[in-house]
Amino acid sequence: MLLIHCPYCNETLPELEYAYAGEAHIARPANPSEVSDEEWAEFLFMRSNVKGIHYERWRHLHGCGRFFNAVRDTVSDKFLTTYEAGAPRPDLDTLVNTPAEGGK
Amino acid sequence: MTHFSAFSLLKNALTGHKNWTEQWPDAQPKAEYDVIIVGAGGHGLGAAYYLATQHGITNIAVIDKGWLGGGNTGRNTTIIRSNYLYDESARLFDHSVDLWQNLSQELNYNVMYSNRGVLMLAHNVHDVQSFKRHVHSNRLNGVDNRWLSTEECKEYCPPLNISKSSRYPVMGGALQERAGTARHDAVAWGYARGAAARGVDVIQNCAVQAIRRNDDGSVAGVDTDKGFIKAKKVAVSASGHNSMVMATAGVRLPLESMPLQALVSEPVKPVFPCVVMSNAVHAYCSQSDKGELVIGSGTDQYVSYGQRGGLPLIEHTVSAISEVFPIFNRMRMLRKWAGITDNTPDRSPIIGKTPVPNLYVNCGWGTGGFKATPGSAHVFAWTIAKDEPHPINAPFTLDRFRTGRLIDEAAAAAVAH
Amino acid sequence: MSQYRVSGKGRVDLSKKINFTFEGKSYTGGQGDTVASALLSHGVHLMGRSFKYHRPRGAVAAGSEEPNALIGTRRGPGRFEPNTRATVQDIYEGLQTNAQNKYPSLKFDVGAVNDAAYMLFSAGFYYKTFMWPRSFWDKVYEPFIRAAAGLGVSPTEEDPDHYASRNLHIDVLVVGAGPTGIAAAKAASAEGLSVVIVDENREIGGTLLSEPQAVIDGIPAWAWIEQELAALKAQGVKVMTRTTAIGYYNDNLVGLVQKLTDHLPSLPADTPRERMWRVRAGQVVLAQGALEKPLVFHGNDRPGVMLAGSAQTFLNRYGVLVGKRPVVLTAHDSAWYAAFDLADAGAKVQAIVDVRDGVSEALIAGARDRNIPVRLSYTATATKGRLRVKSLRVNRMQGGTVGAAEEISCDAVLMSGGWTPSLHLFSHTKGKLAWDDDRTTFLPEMTPEDCVIAGASRGLWGIEAALNDGAEKGRAVAAALGKAGNAVSYTVAEDRTGSGVSMKELPTDLSPGKAKAFVDYQNDVTAKDLRLAVREGMRSIEHVKRYTTNGMATDQGKMSNINGLNIASDALGRKQPQVGLTTFRPPYTPTSFGAFAGYHRGSHFEVTRKTQIDAWAEENGAVFEPVSQWRRAWYFPKGGESMDDAVRRECATTRKSLGIFDASTLGKIEVVGPDAVEFMNRMYTNPWTKLGVGKCRYGLLCGDDGFIRDDGVIGRLGQDKFHVTTTTGGAARVLNMMEDYLQTEWPDLNVWLTSTTEEWSTIALNGPNAAKLLQPFTDVTLTEENFPHMSCVECEVAGMPARLFRVSFTGEIGFEVNVPAPMGRQLWETLWEAGQQYGITAYGTETMHVLRAEKGYIIVGQDTDGTVTPYDAGMGWAVGKAKPDFVGKRGLARPDLVAEGRKQLVGLVTEDGSKLEEGAQIVFDASQPIPMKMVGHVTSSYDVGTTDQPIALALVEGGHSRMGETVFIPMPDRTISAKITGTIFVDPDNAKLKIPASAENKGVAA
């Protein structure tokens, strides 16, 4: 069971409080009617499914209820960081070279 | 290849088993193949076997980064059934069940296919409606599946708790008698042996780093940690790694890889005659020939390749087993493990061509790929050989995610009301 | 005193005589005995039969790694468990135990015929045969194999015990309370750090319990244990014995199982049998010690052949001599000390046979002092004896060849193949191992978890080394937590450090192909099997393991893994790490299902949600059905009515007069804020801008793929306030979906979402008399003019604050009254009382389903299945086509969703008046052969409603353009014809929805 840091509550809590919400930084097209079927399928279904550093979303379901983003290594399952929804992707180089705030 | 028989076993027993030969040689990569299959699980090895036996293509390498059969082929709970709702799924899985019936004889390798019956329990009115829909659909598709009353379920599986006061009382069940289990490792080994005997190279401990493409976009071969290997065609069937391998060819897949856990109990004398699946309670149970209760769990919620799995899920799974089969509460869990399942949005596989010429993919089997091994391998081989899908796998395209023509077995069982 | 008990030895209290039975025969032992030690004290070695060959077996070890001595244990009804290790089960007064896998008896087992056919049952033999004739597999071969396999028998009764679980958050967890663990706990428990130390045994001490001769800082080992236990407790360390760390999970979560009652003669009331602790520790110290390896030679499994260290444990901990004339066979110094201890306790040690050609002078002297003959550079090639070892055959090794044999008569063989670190929990962390060629073992290298491994489990031998490493690691974890830790160091006298060599199978002059040299005892895997597997092309240790089943028994390879690896790597001519080590998997030792299930059994298996009115329904004889987590009243049978009769009556009464229904389980979400209407426009398919305050609308929710997800009536209570209802099962999903879009796609919208499902009790009143019943309780004028169908208002009902909706899921005049949840039952009873004048009926979900189907109202999840669009469901009218966007709009435009021939929702009426079965499949051509082309299915079907004939709803290919056509429903016994109709079977003009003017009542003054 993972330990996850909620960037809104600023607390590290067990996975049972959270719901996974899929890959992060997949924005719904601003004007869906203008995108092609391929682009819509890409938005709906295609996922990078990374083995390694993965940008993903979680919801603090049994806490503040907020959706937030996380960077996690899908091999070790260790979180590198978590950050608020809407914030840009954190810089990976910085992350890998500094200790995690999510987890411990 | 030494032919296996009671006679050959006896003869070798008398000579101290010194004369058995390798079931498959330890092949090293050649410079070039007609077909390279990435992933030496049951699906990949089986495809090689059928390419060799049915399509006359034998210049094949099956490459795996680890040992053959070490992925989900060797990590599942071996449930085999074909009582799927939609025509497309029923055809695919029933094709497989057909092939399972005589697979041991076909391969001259006892894969211990045991059609002991798979019983799916209904625990609420919605389950009853859904399973009856399956039963009717299966009947008209020629797939065996019948409805059992609560008492008939108990008769078929005596350890079952049918108390009406249960949290999730048993309201009946759907039984497919032709369904059952098989010895998972033997399937990989049997196909490997059969393929190798026909000239296929099974190359283990060789990681594919990238799929290389020609200037015209078509497949050129694969880069591996043992160097580049040229190939006319490349077929990927590497569950748990398909997204990474295909991404190197520029193909994005609608997959998410989640850990799926399973466990076995200590072995006991025969007590559990069939396979029972309870989707509502999340309990999946059978008893292996060795005597262990083989129990399937659910998938963890997040993408992971860690093959670890968490404790809460196992606690839930075991409590579900104790709920449905209370006599097992004092049994002990022997070991649990995890595999990595590739899940598609509609929980149906993708088997077919890709946007890259001469690149084929067989993936997205979720939690249910083992049962499909022979059928999937058979139609995948056809697709590779003829560069067009077999009628059975024709609907299982990657393109269905664009058109919306999904084969949504999961949605068809969705609970809402 | 029993025959093999040694006076003055061991920690068993013989003054407390305990009686128990084994195989129906009574035995005695003392407080502190295990079943194995007690039986051995009576000279009983034969405790079980092996898995495949049914060979006689005795205890080969003294602890939880025991593979052979598995017994069934019983105490009274319901309390039986198979496969219990006799070496860990404490005896208690009245314990009943039995051997397993034997017929007719332990001493004479017909299954042992398999042993004679040993050559036939080689590794993987079953893959090569049993294939002909085809039909024999299911009927003959497999039943035979299954009956022969298995060990004990399953329990057959429900478990009367209960189990507990607890969470624990601490700074440091120490796993293993041997010298390493004790020192680590002591060093770490400084400056307020919370420390827990656990051990699977009944008392702490680990190896010190078997080595009383050691003197630590001048204090004898056992006194030192007492002193340290007191010191640890004084420092606030929680010491947990009989507690096994079963698994190491992500982020330093360790599962512990604490056994509470399996050793007690009588069961204390209200005490769980076992307790699962989920421990989240800042740092973990793994100090699980090392396990001794057997030697692999022909006949190494005969009862009486045992690990030397275990024999030492039986002597020093339990005061039991496992033999009076033992012979010691070893590749490691440690077994020499076993010989010395047994000799000192009165055994006549026949010989020390060592495979090595030289050992230290001290050891030679020790043997000489005790008149023990020593044979160096010898191999063992066989044992004799049927149910107990009688002699050991040994041969001199010279220049690599096996010399002449001689037999040493004995009553026990104490063997040691050296030691292997216990890396199980470390391995659970996905920790990396490195091969150590010198010690021929894997050692821990690195782990992703906050965990250190100490003492013998990282390859350090000797008590002093273990203590000092434990102390150092304890300090290290304290430092990692920002504390100094306690500085401790230890000096040990009489420490028995030693060394040895690691062997594959021992050299022999007999045919190695016929040798029964066991590697995995329980699974009957021999060295020959491993070599056969390699010969047949199994090159990975995982293949070898799976082909032979080596390491897959209930000890999970604790004794067999390294021996198996050594033999496989020798056969392959490769170094061990190139062959690989199989992964250790949780649990460390087999763990009861009950411990995992914990409290989640029976009615606590999963929460049952009940409404405030549930108790009334129960008191009034309702039959319930589970709907997602809720239990809902299904129907209310009166005086022995069948379900059909009850539903027929409920339907008729509601249509004719009045019905009352508990709709509290409906999901309710409050959507509030300046942008509420814009949010609703984007979420739901319908347009909301023009919906007036005080009005309701049926809302349809799709996913972005265009398929229906949920539905419900939505009331606009204010310009900025919507009361959204969802399906019972969909409430959480819908809220999650709304929050997802609001928070991540449209954070610009100023909207708040609140789940109010539990806040309101919802009572539905339906029927021609609904308004008449309700009017006296509210000052809202319930007229068609003032409060027409699809109105809503915040008001008071029966003096309670209420949200009143004029909605109908039956086609009758309908109201849904929402009052604060705790008032639900009061309102229900008030309305029930007042409704008596109208012959009111309470109705359940089944009647609700029938009445709505008669009006063609869909149930999401029954008439739709996740592949149905609003258009398919005939609800294109609910799609706001003019809206620039809504969730699902783009999805609905995908090629397959606009294609011809989609399945569409229609009504069906059978031509013969029979009722269709829900789920039945529909075809256009009934005469076609199987497989048939199916064109749809029956989604809802009822014959207990108020229509003249049974009605059904169905999804049919192109159904909307096939009105009046006949389709066929092939059933197993016949084919039913049915006509496609519209979906509305009752009151198509909605006349009954209107409150007739004559029935209007003016509101009463408040």
* A5-53 per-position pLDDT tens digit: 999 999 999 999 999 999 999 999 999 999 999 999 999 999 999 999 9
Are the beta carbons of B291 and C146 closer than 8 angstroms?
yes
Identify whether residues C720 and C802 lie together within a single domain: yes
Of C852, C880, C913, at which residue does a domain stop? C852
Identify whether residues C713 and C816 lie together within a single domain: yes
- Count the neighbouring beta carbons within 10 Å of the beta carbon of residue B363: 27
Identify whether residues C406 and C425 lie together within a single domain: no
Identify whether residues C828 and C733 lie together within a single domain: yes
Identify whether residues B141 and B123 lie together within a single domain: yes
In a domain, C347, yes or no: yes
**What DSSP designation does B109 have?**
S
pLDDT for B14: 82
Residue A102 in this model has a pLDDT that exceeds 60: no
Identify whether residues C825 and C681 lie together within a single domain: yes
In a domain, C159, yes or no: no
Please report the domains of chain A, with CATH numbers, ordered by start residue: 3-26+37-97 (3.30.2270.10)
A2 touches B at CB < 8 Å:
yes
Alpha-carbon span C89 to C458, nearest angstrom: 28
Identify whether residues B171 and B49 lie together within a single domain: no
The nearest CA of chain C is from the CA of B220 a distance in Å of 30
User: Measured between beta carbons, which residues in chain A are less than 8 angstroms from residue C884?
Assistant: 31, 33
Alpha helices in B342-399 (DSSP H): 373-386
In a domain, B307, yes or no: yes
Are the beta carbons of C459 and C437 closer than 8 angstroms?
no
User: Measured between beta carbons, which residues in chain A are less than 8 angstroms from residue B304?
Assistant: 74-75, 77
The nearest CA of chain A is from the CA of C889 a distance in Å of 8
A59 touches B at CB < 8 Å:
no
Phi/psi zone of residue C29: left (φ > 0), alpha (ψ -120 to 50 degrees), beta?
beta
Cβ–Cβ of C743/A19 closer than 8 Å? no
Alpha-carbon span C412 to C427, nearest angstrom: 35
Pick from B54-68, B279-293, C800-814, C973-987: least confident: B279-293
Beta strands C215-216; C219-220: pairing state: antiparallel
pLDDT confidence tier of residue C1006, bands split at 50, 70 and 90: very low
User: Measured between beta carbons, which residues in chain B are less than 8 angstroms from residue A56?
Assistant: 302-303
Token readout for B98 is 């057909």
* C842-881 per-position pLDDT tens digit: 999 999 999 999 999 999 999 999 999 999 999 999 999 9
List the CATH number of the domain containing B315.
3.30.9.10
In a domain, B143, yes or no: yes
In a domain, C774, yes or no: yes
Those of residues 275-314 in C touching chain A at CB distance below 8 A are: 278, 280
CA-angle at C365, arms to C363 and C366, nearest 5°: 65
Alpha-carbon span B323 to C602, nearest angstrom: 6
Alpha helices in C590-675 (DSSP H): 593-597, 614-619, 643-656
In a domain, C940, yes or no: yes
Residue A104 in this model has a pLDDT that exceeds 90: no
Alpha-carbon span C291 to B336, nearest angstrom: 22
Of C439, C465, C493, at which residue does a domain stop? C493
Identify whether residues B134 and B262 lie together within a single domain: yes
Pick from B401-410, C194-203, C812-821, C869-878: least confident: B401-410
Identify whether residues C77 and C33 lie together within a single domain: yes
* C431-470 per-position pLDDT tens digit: 999 998 888 889 999 999 999 999 999 999 999 999 999 9
Between chain A and chain C, how many beta carbons pairs sit less than 8 Å apart?
60
Identify whether residues B59 and B105 lie together within a single domain: yes
Identify whether residues B262 and B336 lie together within a single domain: yes
pLDDT for C85: 97
Of C493, C524, C555, at which residue does a domain stop? C493
Residue A101 in this model has a pLDDT that exceeds 50: no
Q: Give the nearest partner residue to C705 out of A44, A61, A85, using CB atoms.
A: A44
**How many domains does chain C divide into?**
7
Alpha-carbon span C778 to C859, nearest angstrom: 31
In a domain, B15, yes or no: no
Q: Who's near A99: CB < 8 A, 6+ residues apart? A: none
Identify whether residues C834 and C725 lie together within a single domain: yes
Identify whether residues C481 and C613 lie together within a single domain: no
* C561-582 per-position pLDDT tens digit: 999 999 999 999 999 999 887 7
The nearest CA of chain C is from the CA of B245 a distance in Å of 24
Alpha-carbon span B306 to C133, nearest angstrom: 43
User: Measured between beta carbons, which residues in chain A are less than 8 angstroms from residue C736?
Assistant: 19, 59, 61
* B273-293 per-position pLDDT tens digit: 999 999 888 889 999 999 999
Segments in chain B below pLDDT 70 = 412-417
Are the beta carbons of C267 and C260 closer than 8 angstroms?
no
Of B301, B322, B343, at which residue does a domain stop? B343
Q: Give the nearest partner residue to B402 out of A41, A50, A77, using CB atoms.
A: A41
Q: Give the nearest partner residue to A51 out of B305, B312, B402, using CB atoms.
A: B305
Alpha-carbon span B262 to B240, nearest angstrom: 16
Residue C1005 in this model has a pLDDT that exceeds 80: no
Cβ–Cβ of B254/A51 closer than 8 Å? no
Q: What are the phi and psi torsion angles at B356 (to 5°)?
A: -90, 120
SS3 of A47, please?
Answer: coil
pLDDT for A99: 55
List the CATH number of the domain containing C214.
3.50.50.60
Q: What are the phi and psi torsion angles at C774 (to 5°)?
A: -80, -35
Identify whether residues B105 and B194 lie together within a single domain: yes
List the CATH number of the domain containing C534.
1.10.10.1100
pLDDT for C838: 97
In a domain, B11, yes or no: no
Domain that holds residue B148: 118-180+257-343
Question: What mean pLDDT is predicted for residues C395-408?
Answer: 94
Cβ–Cβ of C536/B5 closer than 8 Å? no
pLDDT for C1003: 41
In a domain, B391, yes or no: yes
Alpha-carbon span C700 to C262, nearest angstrom: 57
In a domain, B1, yes or no: no
Question: What mean pLDDT is predicted for residues C625-645?
Answer: 95
**What DSSP designation does B396 have?**
-
C895 touches A at CB < 8 Å:
yes
Identify whether residues B53 and B122 lie together within a single domain: no
Identify whether residues B44 and B156 lie together within a single domain: no
Q: Which amino acid is at C906?
A: V
Cis amide bond preceding B395, omega within 30: no
Cβ–Cβ of C747/A40 closer than 8 Å? no
Alpha-carbon span A24 to C744, nearest angstrom: 10
Token readout for B93 is 């899985």
In three-state form (DSSP H/G/I as H, E/B as E, the rest C), the secondary structure along C824-839 is HHHHHHHHHHHHHHHC
**How many domains does chain B divide into?**
2
Give one DSSP letter per residue of C244-313, joined into a string: EEEEEETTTEEEEEEE-STT-SSPPTT--SEEEEEEEEEEEEE---EEEPPP--BTTTSTTEEEHHHHHH
A77 or C130, which is more confident: A77
The nearest CA of chain A is from the CA of C249 a distance in Å of 6
Q: Who's near C732: CB < 8 A, 6+ residues apart? A: C667, C755
Identify whether residues C695 and C744 lie together within a single domain: yes
In a domain, C931, yes or no: yes
pLDDT confidence tier of residue C400, bands split at 50, 70 and 90: confident
- Count the neighbouring beta carbons within 10 Å of the beta carbon of residue C259: 19
The nearest CA of chain B is from the CA of A72 a distance in Å of 9
Q: Give the nearest partner residue to C542 out of B70, B316, B416, using CB atoms.
A: B70
List the CATH number of the domain containing B387.
3.50.50.60
List the CATH number of the domain containing C967.
2.40.30.110
Are the beta carbons of B37 and B48 closer than 8 angstroms?
yes
Token readout for C362 is 């001290």
Q: Give the nearest partner residue to A45 out of B302, B306, B401, using CB atoms.
A: B401
Query: Considering chain C, what is the average pLDDT of its residues?
Result: 95
Identify whether residues C845 and C733 lie together within a single domain: yes
In a domain, C322, yes or no: yes
In a domain, C638, yes or no: yes
List the CATH number of the domain containing C791.
3.30.1360.120
Domain that holds residue C972: 900-985
Question: What mean pLDDT is predicted for residues C260-270?
Answer: 94
Q: Residues in chain B whose beta carbon is closer than 8 A to a beta carbon of chain A?
A: 241, 243-244, 247, 252-257, 301-306, 308, 310-312, 345, 401-403
Alpha-carbon span C714 to C738, nearest angstrom: 14
In a domain, C136, yes or no: no
pLDDT for A70: 98
In a domain, B290, yes or no: yes
Question: What mean pLDDT is predicted for residues C923-951?
Answer: 96
A19 touches B at CB < 8 Å:
yes
Alpha-carbon span B154 to B162, nearest angstrom: 7
A30 touches C at CB < 8 Å:
no
Of B295, B315, B343, at which residue does a domain stop? B343
SS3 of B124, please?
Answer: coil
Q: Who's near C970: CB < 8 A, 6+ residues apart? A: B140, C921, C923, C926, C932, C976
Of B343, B372, B392, at which residue does a domain stop? B343
The nearest CA of chain B is from the CA of C721 a distance in Å of 25
In a domain, B13, yes or no: no
Residue C763 in this model has a pLDDT that exceeds 90: yes
> Among candidates C21, C19, C65, C68, which has minimal Cα distance to C45?
C68
Identify whether residues C821 and C963 lie together within a single domain: no
pLDDT confidence tier of residue A1, bands split at 50, 70 and 90: confident
Identify whether residues B273 and B289 lie together within a single domain: yes
Identify whether residues C298 and C282 lie together within a single domain: no
